[in-house]
């Protein structure tokens, strides 16, 4: 058997690699402490040399290892910063709370959130609250028992004060960073959120119909969500500025329970009641979303009223239902993937110690054939 030649240079390289990795492991132990303490910029290379009694070359190589593992980011002329990921991978866990798993807009939103978080190095678990605060409470209690790095949550019944404020506060105290989307809770301390600018959206739809000479404008909105309340206020503002009368008899509100019955059993009784009680003298309706508009058009057809000849319909979301509807819906839209991208960006900023400013996303009006100028 041929004897291997002794190579002192290789032996030295192996020794130095071990040395770099040992120091990297020691630095990893410090990283979690930095994050927990809210310190996101690492000490300078000189300070690290003094702290670990190591040469600058050794410090630089150890930092390179951490950078390659995605634990820090080095910025030329500025220093090294934690990325928000913890060295123990199982602790890099983000939970997503959705109010529903119906095929409306949520499958695409969920897919975007999971993809973006995975790219950032986080494992993801998904929970559905069905817009019920009791279900939300059970989920939050479970999450409080396991390490949680972040939480992206859609509030349950955001139009009402949450009874689960204590659990959100507990998770936050445990170090979980929380971002709400599609709404927020009024009785929680100021929190980070990403939502549509629903007030501006309601105002836009109100102005659109007013410019088409509609003077009797009805609305149907979801009572127990902040989206419904803001959308109603926006269109009310547009009507007030135009000098139009505000008649509460032309506005109807539906609840989560009625929406669930519509989705599961096609129970449209609340829409039939709306047509009979609220639409007698109205020439246009602003709907809470495309789903409501889609079913309302069907009910109007059964009642012998044609859209848009007899009554114009506009709505929010520009979902697949806006084109499936007959006639196709004039609806407010925002850029694809924008909500998920903004929520993940806000969460990662918080986990990196940056100032995370809440966002309201603008709407864009997509005109189709469900609305026309009023000639009455």
Q: Sign of the CA dihedral 343, 346, 348, 351?
A: negative
Q: Which CATH class is domain 8-82?
A: mainly alpha
Confidence (pTM): 0.80
Q: What residues form DSSP beta bridges with 150?
A: 94, 177
CA nearest 166: which of 150, 192, 189?
A: 189
Instruction: Kindly report the CATH class assigned to 198-335.
Output: alpha beta
Euclidean distance between CA atoms 210 and 289, whole angstroms = 19
Distances in whole angstroms, Cα of residue 325 to Cα of each of 107, 151, 321: 20, 35, 6
Q: What is the pLDDT of residue 6?
A: 47
Residues of the chain with CATH 3.40.50.2300: 89-196+338-361, 198-335
For the chain, which residues score pLDDT lower than 70?
A: 1-16, 19, 32, 35-38, 86-90, 103
pLDDT reported for residue 132: 94
pLDDT score of 361: 96
CATH number of the domain located at residue range(s) 89-196+338-361 in this protein:
3.40.50.2300
CATH 1.10.10.10 in the chain, residue ranges:
8-82
């Amino acid at each position: 058997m041929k004897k291997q030649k002794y190579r002192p240079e290789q032996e030295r390289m192996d020794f130095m690699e071990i040395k770099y990795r040992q120091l990297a492991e020691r630095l990893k132990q410090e990283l979690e402490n930095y994050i927990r303490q809210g310190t996101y910029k690492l000490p300078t290379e000189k300070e690290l040399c003094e702290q670990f009694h190591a040469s600058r070359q050794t410090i630089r190589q150890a930092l390179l290892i951490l950078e390659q593992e995605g634990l820090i980011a080095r910025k030329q002329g500025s220093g090294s910063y934690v990325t928000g990921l913890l060295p123990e991978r199982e602790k890099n866990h983000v939970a997503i709370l959705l109010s529903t798993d119906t095929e409306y807009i949520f499958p695409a939103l969920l897919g975007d959130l999971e993809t973006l978080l995975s790219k950032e190095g986080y494992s993801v678990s998904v929970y559905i609250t069905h817009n019920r605060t009791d279900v939300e409470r059970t989920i939050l209690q479970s999450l409080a028992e396991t390490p949680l790095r972040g939480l992206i949550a859609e509030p349950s019944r955001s139009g009402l004060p949450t009874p689960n404020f204590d659990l959100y506060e507990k998770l936050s105290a445990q170090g979980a960073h929380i971002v709400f989307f599609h709404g927020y809770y009024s009785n929680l301390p100021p929190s980070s959120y990403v939502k549509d600018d629903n007030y501006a959206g309601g105002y836009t739809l109100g102005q659109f119909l007013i410019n088409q000479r509609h003077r009797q404008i009805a609305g149907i909105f979801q009572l127990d969500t902040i989206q419904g309340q803001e959308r109603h206020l926006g269109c009310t503002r547009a009507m007030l500025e135009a000098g139009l009368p505000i008649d509460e008899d032309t506005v109807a509100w539906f609840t989560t329970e009625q929406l669930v019955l519509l989705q599961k059993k096609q129970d449209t009784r609340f829409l039939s009641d709306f047509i009979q009680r609220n639409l007698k003298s109205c020439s246009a309706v602003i709907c809470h979303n495309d789903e409501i508009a889609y079913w309302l058009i069907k009910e109007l057809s059964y009642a012998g009223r044609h859209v848009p000849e007899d009554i114009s319909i506009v709505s929010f979301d520009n979902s697949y239902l806006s084109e499936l509807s007959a006639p196709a819906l004039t609806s407010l839209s925002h850029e694809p993937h924008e909500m998920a991208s903004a929520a993940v960006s806000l969460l990662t900023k918080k986990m990196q110690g940056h100032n995370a400013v809440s966002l309201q996303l603008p709407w864009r009006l997509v005109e189709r054939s469900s609305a026309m100028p009023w000639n009455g």
